[in-house]
Chain A
């Protein structure tokens, strides 16, 4: 009788299979995961993998060839536009499916489906901000335009063709680790990805809530001095002295503004305001032929973003008989975002303009069905959202839409603690119908300045500085976007939402957006600074960054006979312009007699510093701590009476403080009272003492010797899933041997920095260089996952191969994918 042993062993086998087929917490289903024919081993790409293949699809109109070079950059040669973008979608999905799927789900407030209940608040925030609402409005614009619809749909079909062909064993490793499956693509998801960029770039340029608190702490003149609109040292994007047209629209300040808006004190019980290092951004510049060695323009761009693996960028060339474009694309969107074609080159930096305002809404009752507007109760549109949560039940959220936009904050959303019970509706230009994708498409096909200027007109949000160069020798820059025409002070604080008088009265006419073409000085640059000086006739608040623009402008002014190599050096420049201004103030005021031996030692390091924020620089380290401590000491004094609002107001910017101190160094004592234990030191001396202590504490923790800046700046590139920067370390590249800082041209700061460096010389035969800190494959099991990081760290470049028809037999081609109609 063997039935009992049979039963026992069968139960054990079934139990084993069951246990190995399901995830246990964060542990993936081990049987499925480890099976060499199904699981993670299938992602271990052979180092000599052959990417060549021949593919047939119903959707294609004609034939196309994809030539891969040695860095796995695809050069797509198609007969038709639709086929080109079908293939772009296919390649994005083939090499970057996970990031596209994850990012668009997160943009739509669906992160909880993957990450579980810890992402619920994040998802609610995305939904309450109206991300899906914004994407649906954009989708509507795409569908109205037959050409746009055809191109976006071709792209979507390409992604879905790949997803449909995907066997379980071929799923990217992240799906296997997290045990989920990719979702079909749609044009809405493309729209969501572009709104994600809008949110990333335009979302944090506003400090309305924190400013509202600051208004309760500071008198209007103090507020204006602490948060100045136009920095003294500003080198604007539009060269100084440029005359501006008389404004086409003059917004009128509401009569009640002085009493109910400017001077009304209102406490916003927001979470602590985290002071961002407002020095992250991007650089672009262009030099005219008059300043270059070869006599043709050179265009440069390095957008600074969160550096991730896989990278946000995917490099490619897109060619049809009528166009030929090279550059970087965003997986999840068709077209080339930054790059060049046969005739022109372009690049972007963020405008940093504030295009998002908040309005205080009074609901009739808790049902949120009606709100008070223009002397009567208006109906809201109520949207009930269902958030699916992995491993838990659904969560519901009710979002009320008003004439301004969705009510983002209310009692039920914990970002505003219930104490103030404010209902805040958000007005954001990203909600307005527009089709940024098609603006980029037209830019890809532009042949000259006029085409470029026309193409970018359709680009509304996020506002960008589009720098331009053409083979005919033109250089130009436009700050392009849809920007509200504000009366002076409008939108700095939360505005009353009880009537229409505080609404935006219109937009700055597009031709009045700051721009410049072929200036006499022979160069143009943008680095997130205020676009124009005080003579620009509009009120344009934003979170501008001044320092990098000064460095770039100083360097370019002094340069002549410029070569691409010079431009490489400038993109990798480490000069600290802010420190150059700060140090004289520190040296002048520090009381050396009061310093300990160690403090004196640190002072000497800064004194002998070459002002370069290199990886090994010790001066950059001491300076950063010293200046940081001084800023904090002064700020503590200034906000001594702010009480519980202290952490809920925007900290004063470094640039603003520096400029005040340059004018009058006694400002450092402002707000100091007898109670302050400066212990006989002035703030500068005290700051050095505090800095010394902080450095030594940090060193003790890090367990090392030496003050090398990289130890404190911690440059690194982390996998998208590794939000903690430690959970998925094997997929990361931490502790890179590189310098930089947010206010340095080479703006590497932690995991933030130049996400794509590009230099294009507009010679008869375009000469271009570039790279991004990552690799073309999103697969951690591929040697192309992070292969460009080392060159990026060293400040080296790859020569970009701008393939022409004649190159189809070149030995640079390593693999060929052929696409044709089924």
Chain B
């Protein structure tokens, strides 16, 4: 239950932070959520990772679908990801997930150390 709460809370608050803060707001969100909804390190990481993986992956997927993949194919060819839209979405999700995962790890350790 805690795992689900932490994951969804990270996802939701990261979305809100994206409206007002620079992209790295997701790290702050993940850290705070992990500190407040405390889980063991491994689970905290996974919550943060999954929250952002789903958020960024989902948003990218949605935008890409609405865009008929026009831009993703071009960017995926420049980066270079072989012009593969899905790959670009996965990389996007992975970047968001990793940053949030490590931030959540910190949050978990912070709560633990505060005890």
| Chain A contacts to B: CB under 8 angstroms | 1-3, 5-6, 9-10, 12-13, 16-17, 20-21, 30-32, 34-48, 168, 173, 177, 728-731, 780-783, 785
Tell me which residues across on chain A come within 8 A of B71, comparing CB atoms: 40-41, 43-45, 173, 780-781
Known contacts: A6-B110, A9-B105. The answer to whether A31 contacts B73 by CB under 8 A is no
B41 to chain A, nearest CB (A): 7
* Distance from B110 Cβ to chain A, minimum over Cβ atoms (Å): 6
Nearest CB of A to B61, in Å: 9
5 pairs of A and B residues whose beta carbons are closest in the complex:
A781-B71, A37-B18, A6-B109, A36-B59, A35-B23
A731 near B74: Cβ-Cβ < 8 Å: yes
Known contacts A6-B112, A36-B56; can you find 11 more A-B pairs with CB under 8 A?
Answer: A6-B113, A10-B106, A13-B102, A36-B60, A36-B92, A44-B71, A46-B67, A47-B67, A173-B71, A730-B77, A781-B74
Does B99 touch A at the CB level, under 8 Å? yes
Question: Closest residue to B100 on the A side, CB-wise?
Answer: A13
Write out the residue numbers on chain B whose beta carbons fall within 8 Å of the beta carbon of A3. 109, 113
Distance in angstroms from B32 CB to nearest chain A CB is 13
Please indicate the chain A residues that have their CB under 8 angstroms from the CB of B67 in the complex. Answer: 44-47, 781
Q: Give the contacting residue for A13; candidates B19, B27, B68, B72; CB below 8 A.
A: B27
Are A32 and B23 in touch, CB under 8 angstroms?
A: yes
Within the assembled complex, what's the spacing in Å between the Cα atoms of A35 and B19? 11
Give min CB distance, B20 to chain A, whole Å.
10
Chain B residues in 8 Å Cβ range of A21 = 23-24
A277 to B14, CA, bound (A): 57
Q: Does B13 contact A (CB under 8 A)?
A: no
**Bound-complex Cα distance A728 to B91 (A):** 20
Docked pose: A37 CA to B92 CA in angstroms: 11
Which of B23, B77, B106, B113 lies in contact with A37, CB distance below 8 A?
A: B23
**A-B pairs under 8 A by CB, number:** 127
Cα-based distance from A34 to B24 in the complex (angstroms): 12
Can you give 5 contacting A-B residue pairs, CB < 8 Å?
Answer: A6-B112, A13-B102, A31-B99, A36-B56, A173-B71
Contact yes or no, A47 B66, CB < 8 A: yes
* Chain B residue, CB-CB nearest to A781: B71
Closest to A32 in B: B23
Indicate if the CB atoms of A46 and B99 lie closer than 8 Å: no
Tell me whether A40 and B113 are in contact in the complex, defined as CB-CB below 8 angstroms, given that A20-B99, A782-B70 are known contacts. no
Q: Which residues from chain A contact B56 at a C-beta distance below 8 Å?
A: 34-36
Q: How far is the CA of A47 from the CA of B63 in the complex (A)?
A: 10
Which residue of B has the minimal Cβ distance to A728? B78
B9 at the interface (CB under 8 A from A): no
Which residue on chain B has the smallest CB distance to residue A786?
B70
Instruction: State the Cβ distance, A760 to closest chain B Cβ, in Å.
Output: 33
Interface of A is mostly: helix
- Shortest beta-carbon distance, A373 to chain B, in Å? 54
The reply to whether A34 and B91 contact each other, CB–CB distance below 8 Å, is yes
Chain B interface main SS type: helix
- Is there contact, CB below 8 Å, between B68 and A47? yes
In the complex the two chains form, what is the Cα distance from A12 to B105 in whole Å? 10
**When chains A and B are docked, how far (Å) is the Cα of A20 from the Cα of B102?**
14
Q: Are B95 and A31 in contact (CB under 8 A)?
A: yes
Output the nearest chain A residue to B45 by Cβ-Cβ distance.
A9
A780 and B103 in contact, given A2-B112, A35-B96, A46-B67 (Cβ under 8 angstroms): no
Contact assessment for A37 and B110 in the assembled complex, using a CB-CB cutoff below 8 Å = no
Q: Is the CB of B19 within 8 A of A37?
A: yes
B86 at the interface (CB under 8 A from A): no
Interface residues of B in 57-88 (CB under 8 A from A): 59-60, 63-64, 66-68, 70-75, 77-78, 83
Closest to B83 in A: A730
Known: A6-B110, A34-B92. A13 touches B99 (CB 8 A): yes
Known: A6-B110, A783-B70. Is A730-B99 also a contact (CB below 8 A)? no
Q: CA A782 – CA B69 in complex, angstroms? A: 10
Cβ A35 vs Cβ B18 within 8 A: yes
Q: Is the CB of B23 within 8 A of A780?
A: no
Contacts of A5 on B, CB cut-off 8 Å? 41, 105, 109
Which A residues are CB-close (under 8 A) to B112?
2, 6
Once the chains bind, are A16 and B92 in contact (CB under 8 Å)?
no
Q: List residues of chain A with CB within 8 A of the CB of B63.
A: 36, 41-42, 44, 46
- In Å, the complex CA distance between A185 and B51 comes to 41
**B19, B75, B103: the one within 8 Å of A730 (CB):** B75
Residues on the B chain within 8 Å of A37, using CB: 15, 18-19, 23, 59
Q: Which residues of B contact A44 (CB under 8 A)?
A: 63-64, 66-67, 70-72
Most buried by A among B23, B26, B110: B23
Cβ 8 A contact of A783, one of B59, B68, B103: B68
A2 touches B106 (CB 8 A): no
User: What residues of B have a CB within 8 angstroms of the CB of A1 in the complex?
Assistant: 113
Q: Which residues from A are CB-within-8-Å of B74? A: 730-731, 780-781
B95 is contacted by which of A20, A40, A173, A782 (Cβ under 8 Å)?
A20
Question: Quick one: which of B70, B91, B98 has the most chain A CB within 10 A?
Answer: B70
Interfacial chain B residues near A781, Cβ < 8 Å? 67, 70-71, 74
Interface string of B22-54 (1 = CB under 8 A from A): 111011000100000000010000000000000
B59, A17: Cβ atoms closer than 8 Å: no
Contacting residues, chain B, for A47 (C-beta < 8 A) = 66-68, 70
Contact across chains for B99 and A16 when beta carbons are under 8 A apart: yes
CA distance A749 to B113 in the complex (A): 70
- Report B-chain residues with C-beta under 8 Å of the C-beta of A16: 98-99, 102
Chain B residues contacting A173 (CB-CB under 8 Å) are: 71, 75
Complex formed: what's the CA distance from A3 to B15 in Å?
Answer: 29
CB <8 Å contact, A13 and B106 = yes
- A40 / chain B contacts, CB cutoff of 8 Å: 71, 75
* Contact (Cβ within 8 A) B98 A32: no
Least CB distance from A799 to B in Å reads 26
Task: Let me know if A34 and B95 touch, CB within 8 A.
Answer: yes
Most chain B C-beta atoms within 10 Å of own C-beta, residue among A34, A168, A177: A34
Determine the distance from Cα of A13 to Cα of B31 in the docked complex, in whole angstroms: 10
Task: Tell me whether B70 and A729 are in contact (CB under 8 A).
Answer: no
Q: How far is the CB of B73 from chain A (nearest CB, A)?
A: 7
Q: Would B102 and A38 count as touching, CB distance under 8 A? A: no
Query: Cα distance A30–B24 when bound, in Å?
Result: 11
A206 to B9, CA, bound (A): 68
Q: Which residue of B lies closest to A16 (CB)?
A: B99
- Asked whether, in the complex, the Cβ of A31 is within 8 Å of the Cβ of B102, the reply is no
Contact B113 A17 (CB under 8 A): no
Task: State A48–B103 Cα separation when bound (angstroms).
Answer: 37
Point out the residues of chain B lying under 8 angstroms from A782, CB to CB.
70
Complex CA gap A821/B19 in Å reads: 28
Q: Which of A47, A728, A783 has the most CB of B within 10 A?
A: A47
Whole-angstrom distance between the Cβ of B99 and the nearest chain A Cβ: 5
Chain A residues with Cβ below 8 Å from B64 are 41, 44
CA distance A730 to B66 in the complex (A): 20
Given contacts A5-B41, A16-B102, contact A39 B23 (CB under 8 A): yes
Residues of B within 8 A of A10 (CB): 106
Chain B residues, Cβ within 8 Å of A35? 18, 23, 26, 56, 92, 96
Which residues on the A side are within 8 Å of B72 (C-beta)?
Answer: 44
A43 nearest in chain B by CB position: B71
How far apart are B36's CB and chain A's nearest CB, in angstroms? 15
